[in-house]
Each structure stands twice: as C-alpha cells, then as structure tokens.
A and B are shown apart, each in its own frame.
Chain A
C-alpha cells in the first residue's frame, strides 16, 4: 500500500518562504506530485518529480530524494492567495495509476 506523511499546518507572513515536507512509503514508486486546493475548490496540479532533484516552476519548487523517500514543496515570496491546502501524492502504476494523497498541509499566510 501507500502512505504519505506531511505536516498538518504551517503559518507564515507575506513574502516569506515555506517548505512543506512529505515522506512516503509505497509498494511501487512512480513519481511524487503536489496539488493545491483552496477551500471549497478542486485540487490543481502544481508540480511533479519523477527523478531526484529540484523542479522549479515560478515561485514554487519541488524536490525529491528517492533514496530517502522524501520530497518537499517550497513556496517562495508568499502571497495571501497562497493560503490553501497542499497535498503530496504518489501514483500507483500497478493499480490503474490511481493517486494516493497525503493528509494535506494547510498554509495560512498572514499580512
């Protein structure tokens, strides 16, 4: 099976940097993804890491270390609109490519 652990909540001020860690245990690893979800909305895809290293997409970056079963999402130059829940997820290629999500990290950005 799959399990993913991430912190439940993080609070930071505008302009700050936030790092959300994710550790995972999977029976078959096929990349780590990150999704953002605002309250009442649908999750939107942010980033994907299939190989070790850093992927940068604007203010957001994601890192993966497969040997450590660990990844993180880095939010830079925080803006109020970044207040949302962030989920890491792994894909199980052996089970119809279903996504399993971590518990989610609520990020609260304060002025």
Chain B
C-alpha cells in the first residue's frame, strides 16, 4: 500500500530557531499533500494544503510566513516552522492520497513531535 515517510520523528529546538520537517511519498506521486497539527488529546487540525509546483493553501488563522511549505517535487513536501516559540510545540503530521489506489483512505506520515524550549 501507499507509504508516506516523515522526518524527523522528534525534534527539540531552542526558541527563535527554525525547524524543517520533511514528508515523502515513497511509492506514489502526490500532487497534493496536507499538513496537520495536533495538540495532546485533541483532533487533527488542517494547517495547509501543499500543491506541487504552486503555492500552498493555508487554513484560516495559520500564518503563512511562520509555517513555510514547499512542495518542489511530486514526492516531497516540507514544512518549516520559522522562529519557533514554545506555543508551536505540537505533533505535526503530513498526509497524502495515492490517486491510483482503489481505497478512499489517506495515508499519514508517522508524525513529528516538536518541542520548543
């Protein structure tokens, strides 16, 4: 089945620094990938839709200058959290769907737990 690889799985950074998270579709091409953020014991909140070769579409309330998304190829999307602050500490998850598959399900990366100290 479709596999989405996400790295790193865990990162600790200092306030004010930037962190890049990578999301790769390993065995399919993903023209669209989705980035979610999840706080403890809460649901997944969509941050943005990443489109290959074009600008990402951000959800209302998500700062595009703070959460930079790049989708430079059909298999790779990156999320960069710039000038991170403790309130950005969260679980970040990417997702994509293999358009060739019969299943309607989306495949998720394993997530990145970001801690800003």
Residues of chain B within 8 A (CB-CB) of A100 are: 46
Residues on B with C-beta less than 8 A from A72 are: none
Q: Is B51's beta carbon under 8 Å from chain A?
A: yes
Q: Is the CB of A103 within 8 A of B111?
A: no
How many residues does chain A have at the interface if contact means C-beta atoms less than 8 Å apart?
25
Chain A 37-52 interface 0/1 with B at a Cβ cutoff of 8 Å (1 = within):
0001111111010100
- B79-117: contact bitstring with A at CB < 8 Å (1 yes, 0 no)? 000000000000001010100000111111111010000
B43–A48 contact, CB under 8 A? no
| A87–B34 CB distance below 8 A | no
Q: Please, which residues of chain B bring their CB within 8 A of the CB of A97?
A: 32, 97
How many interface residues does chain B have, given as a range?
Answer: 20 to 34
Write the nearest CB–CB distance from A27 to chain B, whole angstroms: 15
Identify which of A40, A41, A48, A87 contacts B104 (C-beta below 8 A).
A48
Distance of A41 Cα from B38 Cα, bound (Å): 11
Are A41 and B105 neighbours in the complex by a CB distance under 8 Å? no
> Would you call B106 and A96 a contact (CB within 8 A)?
no
Known contacts A31-B104, A43-B93, A45-B105, A96 near B43 by CB under 8 Å: no
Which residues of chain B have a CB within 8 Å of any CB of chain A?
A: 32, 34, 41-44, 46, 49, 51, 57, 93, 95, 97, 103-111, 113
Q: Provide 15 A-B residue pairs closer than 8 Å at the C-beta atoms, listed in order of the A residue.
A: A33-B104, A35-B105, A41-B111, A42-B109, A43-B108, A44-B108, A95-B49, A96-B49, A97-B97, A98-B46, A99-B46, A100-B46, A101-B43, A103-B42, A104-B43
